[in-house]
Amino acid sequence: MICVCLRPNNPRSRPGSPPECLRPPIGRSSCAHATVSRQRVISFDDASAQDRYRLEPVEHTTPETLFERRWAQTVVGVVLDRLAAETEEKRFEVLKSFLLEDKGAVSYDEAAAQLGMSVAAITSAIHRLRARFSALLVEEVSNTVSTPAAVEPELRHLLAALSD
């Protein structure tokens, strides 16, 4: 049991020693100063391990699932970096939301206004960006598998890991 009453150090205690309230009581059920001042002593040992475990947040994700999700995010990150290197910076920053975000995050009209292009040109640019993203993703995944036949199942697995 440890007293957490926040009483300052005893002026006669050695420098660097913990304050009285953080020292465990020796041979007593509470700290002497807590008894004298009638302060409440809180025991960190009161809650059993099982009680503390029940209070922990529940996480159903396995380490394997976390690893696969991080791997998928890394692959997508590499593909985005490659795509950014191939694309004009401002154009990529505006159009990448059409790759990654939910529909409606940025409208075609807003993107057209930001880039000084027509809506038809934006639609075409988005189509080309998505096609290049797909090609780079297939290329990146093909670098991680042993046979070309394994690319498609690996892509499905990657997309499943991202959707969890």
pLDDT tens digit sequence for 111-128: 999 999 999 999 999 999
- Alpha-carbon Rg for the chain, nearest whole angstrom, is 30
**What pLDDT, on a 0 to 100 scale, did the predictor assign at position 63?**
87
Residue ranges of the domains in the chain? 1-56, 63-163
d(C-alpha 3, C-alpha 79), whole Å: 55
Q: How confident is the model at residue 91 (pLDDT cuts 50, 70, 90)?
A: very high
Q: In the predicted model, what is the mean pLDDT of residues 62-89? A: 94
pLDDT for 42 equals 55
Q: Round to whole Å and give the CA distance between 51 and 71.
A: 35
Share of the chain above pLDDT 70, in %: 66
Q: Residue 1's pLDDT band (boundaries 50, 70, 90)?
A: very low
Q: Is the pLDDT of residue 2 over 60?
A: no
Q: What is the pLDDT of residues 30-75, one digit of tens each?
A: 555 545 555 565 555 555 667 766 777 777 788 899 999 999 999 9
* CB-based burial label for 145 (10 Å; 0-12, 13-18, 19+): middle
* Token pair of 129 as six digits: 């960006």
| pLDDT for res 7 | 47
Q: Is the pLDDT of residue 149 over 60?
A: yes
pLDDT higher than 70, residue 9 = no
- Average pLDDT value for residue range 116-141: 95
**CA of residue 111 relative to chain centroid, distance:** 29
